[in-house]
């Protein structure tokens, strides 16, 4: 069985978290068992996910949204304590990668979304804290019908997206930023993109999209961010000969 330090070193080498000014720490947030035979992955380190990882007899839980954030109250709140107790009690490692996982060109949420939607190539887009974490996907050589794109988003994310279909009937280029990135819509407009996909909408985007004549697609913060952690879990399983299980705790947001 590999040592937890080997797994974290492999993830750090791949994702280069030190290159990002993130909203919270990346890497191993809570140490546990030294040896790992099963890794569980999930989107957000909430109590249900942690308890289900314990039930799955994992020694490592790998998530996109970890426990510690700069915008949360300092100190140990009752909610945070409730999440930490089962980790300590069952010697479960918790590791998290946020912006580095969004922005990675191969295993990142946005790169994998572009690939799943059928983009033939994609390139960096949408700067967050000094790094471009989104992707511009290209539908070449033929653009995709807008209705087919909306249906494809539904299929790959597993949920009905909120769509403001104000753009052209066929889409050649789409901006993709998973999670909560409605603020990147003006950049998509400035670049002349035909569509913009994120997780969460904002009140103003309906009018903004209509007036700029761009398709705005909100496919769910959670639903657009399952891709990266699944890919990381599968990568660890293949690299180190361990088991991987993705734990789905759906969130309608």
What's the CA gap between 144 and 121, in Å, rounded? 14
Burial of 47 (0-12, 13-18, 19+ CB in 10 A): middle
Token couple for 211: 């007036």
Mind spelling out the 3-state secondary structure of 218-245? ECCCCHHHCHHHHHHHHHHHHHHCCEEE
pLDDT of res. 74: 87
Q: Which two tokens stand for residue 86?
A: 């089962």
Which residue from 16, 68, 67, 65 is spatially nearest to 42, judged by alpha carbons? 65
Torsion sign, CA atoms 124, 14, 106, 224: negative
Are 93 and 86 in contact by the 8 Å Cβ rule? The answer is: no
What pTM was computed for the model? 0.96
* C-alpha dihedral sign at 86, 87, 90, 94: positive
Q: Output the pLDDT for position 53.
A: 98
Nearest CA to 8 out of 39, 44, 53, 50 is that of: 39
Domain boundaries, the chain: 4-97+225-245, 102-224
Structure tokens at 150: 């909306």
Please tell me the distance from the alpha carbon of residue 253 to that of residue 248, in angstroms, as a whole number. 14
Q: Hey, which CATH number is domain 102-224, 3.40.50.2300, 3.40.50.300, 1.10.760.10, 3.40.1390.30?
A: 3.40.1390.30
- Architecture in CATH of 4-97+225-245: 3-Layer(aba) Sandwich (3.40)
Per-residue pLDDT tens digits of the chain, which is 253 residues long: 999 999 999 999 999 999 999 999 999 999 999 999 999 999 999 999 999 999 999 999 999 999 999 999 888 999 999 999 999 999 999 999 999 999 999 999 999 999 999 999 999 999 999 999 999 999 989 999 999 999 999 999 999 999 999 999 999 999 999 999 999 999 999 999 999 999 999 999 999 999 999 999 999 999 999 999 999 999 999 999 999 999 999 999 9
Answer yes or no: same fold for 4-97+225-245 and 102-224.
yes
d(C-alpha 234, C-alpha 213), whole Å: 39
Rg (CA), the chain: 19
How far apart are the C-alpha atoms of 156 and 12, rounded to whole Å?
28
């Amino acid at each position: 069985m590999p040592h937890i330090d080997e797994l974290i070193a492999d993830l750090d080498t791949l994702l280069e978290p030190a290159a990002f000014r993130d909203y919270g720490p990346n890497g191993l947030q809570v140490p546990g068992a030294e040896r790992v035979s099963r890794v569980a992955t999930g989107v957000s380190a909430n109590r249900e996910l942690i308890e289900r990882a314990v039930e799955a007899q994992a020694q490592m839980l790998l998530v996109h949204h970890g426990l510690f954030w700069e915008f949360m109250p300092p100190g140990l709140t009752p909610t945070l304590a409730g999440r930490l107790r089962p980790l300590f009690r069952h010697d479960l490692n918790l590791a998290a990668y946020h912006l580095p996982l969004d922005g990675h060109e191969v295993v990142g949420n946005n790169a994998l979304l572009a690939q799943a939607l059928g983009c033939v190539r994609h390139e960096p887009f949408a700067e967050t804290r000094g790094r471009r974490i989104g992707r511009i996907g290209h539908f070449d050589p033929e653009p995709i019908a807008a209705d087919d794109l909306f249906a494809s988003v539904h299929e790959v994310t597993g949920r009905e997206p909120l769509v403001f279909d104000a753009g052209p009937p066929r889409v050649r280029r789409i901006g993709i930023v998973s999670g909560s990135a409605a603020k990147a819509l003006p950049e998509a407009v400035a670049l002349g993109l035909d569509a913009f996909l994120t997780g969460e909408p904002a009140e103003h985007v309906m009018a903004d999209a209509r007036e700029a004549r761009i398709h705005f697609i909100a496919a769910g913060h959670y639903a657009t961010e399952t891709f990266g952690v699944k890919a990381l879990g599968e990568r660890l399983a293949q690299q180190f000969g361990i088991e991987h299980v993705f734990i789905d705790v759906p969130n309608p947001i």
